[in-house]
Structure 1
Amino acid sequence: MFSLEVYLESLWSKLTEEKAPFDLPEKWKLSSHQLRTYQLLHSSDVDVVFNTAMTGDGKSLAAHLPLLRPYPAKPIGSGSFAYPTNELLRDQYRQAMDDDLTNPGYYRLFGYDPGRNFFMEMLNARRINEYASLEETRKFEAILDLIHRKNLLFTNPDLFSLIMNFAYRSPEHNVAAMAQRFANRFKYIVFDEFHIFQTPQIVEVLQAMLMIRASHGHQHGTKFLFLSATPHQLLLQGLEAAGFQCAEVEGEYCHGDDTIDSNHYRRILAPVKLKLAKHDQSAGDLLDWVKEHIDEITSFFQNYPESKGLIICNSVYTAKRLYSYLKEQLQGTISIGENTGLTGKEKAKASWNADLIIATSTVDVGVDFKINFLLFESMDAGTFIQRLGRLGRHSGFATYLAIALMPSYLVERLEEKEIEGEKIDRQTFFSWIREEVYRPHNEFRNYVSRWGSVRSIHQIAQLEKHGRRHYQELLDNLKPLSRVVFNTQKNNWGHYIHLQKEKQIEVIKELLALRGAGLWDVWVYEKESKRVGTMSLPRLLSICHLTFIEEDQAQKIAEKMGEPWRKPAIKLYAVIEGYLDQKLEVALRYNDELITEKELLNTACRRKGFFLEARHPEIFTINKKVERQYFCTCVLDSILDVTQVRRRWALPPFFELHAVRDYNGIYPVSFGKDALMLDSIMFWRKTNEVFIT
């Protein structure tokens, strides 16, 4: 059943031997990396700190310390903390400000009274919408009110990007007013779990940092903290080119229980039995594996009655079906919870009390679970390490068991090391996973010069167009920074002018949206868990029983649930009635020629005329909407197939690449932000000859 079984030793973090320059709550001790982070953030020689301590080692506390205990001679100012997922945002807000006095948050433990002498705000789209409606004001004024006099802001990088990208404007203010007010208010900016982002997001954050540096200069600069598994080299190179002084802080560790001195080390992760199971795509998904091994899962909970568990799936589709199956099979014995991107707020909140939670990537980034059983699948080294890091963070359990489903060839690479039954320290094991088991993905390094330059030029052009007389000094500071980081030379301006002249609106939209503009998205209401959101139409058609409603009906549902109303890119409004037993094949077609001239090959550009082939009673109505929609696309030569492109250019697992048929043949086509990334590695290749090996 299991191909390989190993024991991961407990992990201990070294406590600092230095005395902290401030008082701590009783019996608290700082790890060495926490105090070092505090010291560097208050150093006049450092602008940016990367804390790369391991999972579970208190990076969050390290981030909050400058606010919890401001350095008397040089207080750091108010802080803005950006978290990449909503679940992590809510989890971190709970940890900082828990109004349950039996389980106080950081700030109450350090003597603050949140709401009285320390002011926090959780800022997201829903909160902005609620406040704007309540106060009968525009979103611009709502955001200004919500951040006013706040000591600490919890938000997400998407909102940070929108603010710094001048997305929130007012006729009474200059174009960069919101961005500058935000930068003036928050002089301490934290990005958590930043390693999960790819090059486009790195470019976006780099540009925002250049904007802030150009506004403030070096003397009164903002401090930045990145909490990350490892600093991305592209980010480091860009920051150093712009003159930012960077420093990295690592944790200090030892492993095992036998000889550890608890006066100098704190245990942060318990020992874990890790079982690796070969599970190839041909054998089905995680649900199929669970059906075969349901008895072993229930036996674990029977043998250890106080157990709590988590199953992390690669897709919402698998998670939803698995939740339904386990709820039926284990009724009355093990309580089941659900937490996915399509789970309603109340249902997700209730899942924390369940014996076994079924989840997706919404929880595998940074969220703190009190569990001793973990079953997961992964797509790459990052998700493997991230998901395994959810286990062993809390003491009080008799044993800790992790089961990882992996393709056979990956397990075999570990089997070659002959480690069956061996004890292994986590740092060694994780280095094997990163360097010897999983294949590294394409980093899209050319994206920085190809599209980062256009992104930076667009912001400069906005400032020149809407407020040159107000922003001359800012422009004088920003342009040289842009040149050294993004190489914004004459030819890059030509690229930007070409996009504007040819009205490549969808390309610009994708470039400016942190995680993509969602041009395939439709509005969706998940009936069973009462969740409103947006989702890719082809994906929805392949996994769901759908009905469609009118726009006014959708708007009433959103308003009733207190969700912000925003029209989707494709004006369709879907209700999920249930999930298909098997995925439905959905094919993409194009009603003309994809490549009408050579210049359109391997290049990101707008196209319309796509339609879907799928077994759905309303497919004709669906396609009437789809065919009118422009998309940002990148089309490759038809002599390549999708599998060949994925393998040859080491595309990441969630990179969307479709085989699209037109009148002449089948072409590999990517959409959205992926189209820009594919363009960055392919736009040099304009002839068939480069594909012949």
Structure 2
Amino acid sequence: MLEHQLLTYQELRNHDLVMNTFATGTGKTKASLLHLLDRPNVNVLFIAPTNELIRQHARDVEIFVADAGLPHLVVELNARLLREFDPQNELRRQGERFHRLLENPLQFTDELNIPEEKRDTRFPIVLVTNPDIFYYALYFGYNRKDARNVFYDMFGHFDYVVIDEFHYYNPKQLSNFLFYFALSLGLGYFRHGRKICLLSATPSRQLYEYLERLTVQGMKYTVVSPQPVVPDDPLAVRTLAPVELNFTLGDNEVSEYVVSHARTIRQLIDSGQDGAIISNSLRDISQTALHLRANGFSETDYRRITGPYKDRDVKPLVLATPTVDIGYNFEGRTKQRQNLDFVIFTAQSTDAFWQRLGRAGRV
């Protein structure tokens, strides 16, 4: 267990809201789940910004629950899956399906793949879902016949809430979360045990200011953030390898860079290194693939990720759009070093620059 994971676990005992700001890939998800060891019967709402990240977190939570011997049912939910829970359309309204799911998940034992040993008893639930489901529930967005029930289900059913990649949400989603914090405080839910854990490597100054205002009104919150350590600290765990950074001026697209550096990329791959090429433009990635093929690369050398992805086919080079910025783990060949040895990318914003630069050298 890493120190920040232990600190997050400890701080949640004494605070209403804890924000973990450690870098992506350092185990923030596990840090948030450790709280369940203290409260094994609590219902949990876990929100992530993309459906791929939802799938990834659902797997992670299932593994944690099994390893810890916790009783929870883990339910992955988005609009498509909610429709699939009722393939015969007997429950014609999405809101009714959602309400019945939260009221009693055992009504959907086959759809949720609930194991036989859990089909005759009610268990606490970990609902892993996206911000849109949360928004529509909280703002009475479902059919008027279901809106009140779904609101109470979403607002009152969960005593522990985890929100991942908190810096990533759009203004509407972000304001929804902030309203939820204030409403939880105003209606006394924190006094009765509600806990919230935010996971964000790059929280904004405005978020800190808002949380400070809620502190004045009575909410107890703290931040678990990285602290400098000396290189010879026996308890330090390296999470980043040294990175050599090169800026190229004038190349607005990675495909232009690849034209003049194809031989270097070939040498890196032939030496056993793994890398990624990331661009904001799908056209740019397509052009990059063409240039690589023209310089002797084959489909055994690279794979493209430009949309939803299911397979984890391992290739030494990944060509990708911003699809991989959130919710994708570059799982390469087994090796005792960083997953990615080099990254070539463009970035049009500060957040995108640091997100993509952080992919390089991550151990």
- The answer to whether 1:382 aligns with 2:351 is yes
Paired residue type of 1:273: E
Going from structure 1 to structure 2, the CA distance change for 1:199 and 1:135 (only over 3 Å counts) comes to closer
Q: 2:166 and 2:182 mapped to 1: Cα distance?
A: 18
Identify the match of residue 108 of structure 1 among 66, 78, 93: 66
How do 1:289-328 and structure 2 match up within 5 A? Answer: 289-304=257-272, 307-326=273-292
SS of equivalent to 1:293: helix
Q: 1:392 and 1:108 mapped to 2: Cα distance?
A: 31
Going from structure 1 to structure 2, the CA distance change for 1:151 and 1:298 (only over 3 Å counts) comes to same
Q: 2:11 and 2:299 mapped to 1: Cα distance?
A: 51
Please name the residue that 1:252 is paired with: 227
How do 1:11-410 and structure 2 match up within 5 A? Answer: 30-43=1-14, 46-67=15-36, 69-71=37-39, 77-97=42-62, 105-111=63-69, 117-134=71-88, 136-137=90-91, 138-147=93-102, 148=105, 150-171=124-145, 173=146, 175-197=147-169, 199-242=171-214, 243=217, 244-254=219-229, 259-261=232-234, 264-278=235-249, 280=250, 283-304=251-272, 307-326=273-292, 329-332=295-298, 334-340=300-306, 343=307, 345=308, 348-350=309-311, 352-365=313-326, 367-369=328-330, 370-394=339-363
Q: CA deviation at 1:368?
A: 2.4
Going from structure 1 to structure 2, the CA distance change for 1:325 and 1:94 (only over 3 Å counts) comes to farther
Q: 1:192 and 1:79 mapped to 2: Cα distance?
A: 13
In structure 1, the gaps of 5 or more residues are: 1-29, 98-104, 395-693
Q: 1:335 and 1:228 mapped to 2: Cα distance?
A: 33
Q: CA deviation at 1:51?
A: 0.8
TM-score by length of 2: 0.81
How do 1:521-600 and structure 2 match up within 5 A? Answer: none
SS of equivalent to 1:121: strand
Q: 2:98 and 2:160 mapped to 1: Cα distance?
A: 18
Larger-gyration structure (1/2): 1
Q: 1:135 and 1:267 mapped to 2: Cα distance?
A: 52
Q: How many residues are matched?
A: 332
Q: 1:336 and 1:274 mapped to 2: Cα distance?
A: 23
Q: 1:337 and 1:93 mapped to 2: Cα distance?
A: 25
Paired residue type of 1:254: V
Contact 1:323/1:337 (CA < 8 Å) preserved in 2? no
Please name the residue that 1:565 is paired with: none
In structure 2, the gaps of 5 or more residues are: 106-122, 331-338
Going from structure 1 to structure 2, the CA distance change for 1:337 and 1:351 (only over 3 Å counts) comes to farther
SS of equivalent to 2:26: coil
Please name the residue that 1:447 is paired with: none
Q: CA deviation at 1:325?
A: 4.5
Q: 1:155 and 1:184 mapped to 2: Cα distance?
A: 16
Q: 1:87 and 1:325 mapped to 2: Cα distance?
A: 29
Q: 2:52 and 2:291 mapped to 1: Cα distance?
A: 24
SS of equivalent to 2:85: helix
Going from structure 1 to structure 2, the CA distance change for 1:390 and 1:134 (only over 3 Å counts) comes to farther
Q: 1:94 and 1:255 mapped to 2: Cα distance?
A: 35
Going from structure 1 to structure 2, the CA distance change for 1:352 and 1:168 (only over 3 Å counts) comes to farther
Contact 1:77/1:187 (CA < 8 Å) preserved in 2? yes
SS of equivalent to 1:354: coil
Going from structure 1 to structure 2, the CA distance change for 1:350 and 1:309 (only over 3 Å counts) comes to farther
Paired residue type of 1:313: S
Paired residue type of 1:127: L
Going from structure 1 to structure 2, the CA distance change for 1:188 and 1:292 (only over 3 Å counts) comes to same
Going from structure 1 to structure 2, the CA distance change for 1:218 and 1:265 (only over 3 Å counts) comes to closer
Greater relative CO, 1 or 2 (CA 8 Å, sep 6+): 2
Q: 2:53 and 2:12 mapped to 1: Cα distance?
A: 24
Contact 1:193/1:366 (CA < 8 Å) preserved in 2? no
Going from structure 1 to structure 2, the CA distance change for 1:333 and 1:165 (only over 3 Å counts) comes to closer
Please name the residue that 1:660 is paired with: none
Q: 2:28 and 2:87 mapped to 1: Cα distance?
A: 36
More strand by share: 1
Paired residue type of 2:265: I
Contact 2:274/2:316 (CA < 8 Å) preserved in 1? yes
Paired residue type of 1:311: I
Q: 1:84 and 1:96 mapped to 2: Cα distance?
A: 16
RMSD: 2.6
SS of equivalent to 1:294: helix
Paired residue type of 2:358: G
Q: 2:282 and 2:299 mapped to 1: Cα distance?
A: 25
Contact 1:78/1:188 (CA < 8 Å) preserved in 2? yes
Q: 1:128 and 1:327 mapped to 2: Cα distance?
A: 42
Q: 2:350 and 2:221 mapped to 1: Cα distance?
A: 26
Please name the residue that 1:608 is paired with: none
Q: CA deviation at 1:339?
A: 1.8
Q: CA deviation at 1:185?
A: 1.8
SS of equivalent to 2:248: strand
Q: CA deviation at 1:387?
A: 1.2
Q: CA deviation at 1:231?
A: 3.5
Q: CA deviation at 1:246?
A: 1.7
Q: CA deviation at 1:109?
A: 3.1
Please name the residue that 1:407 is paired with: none
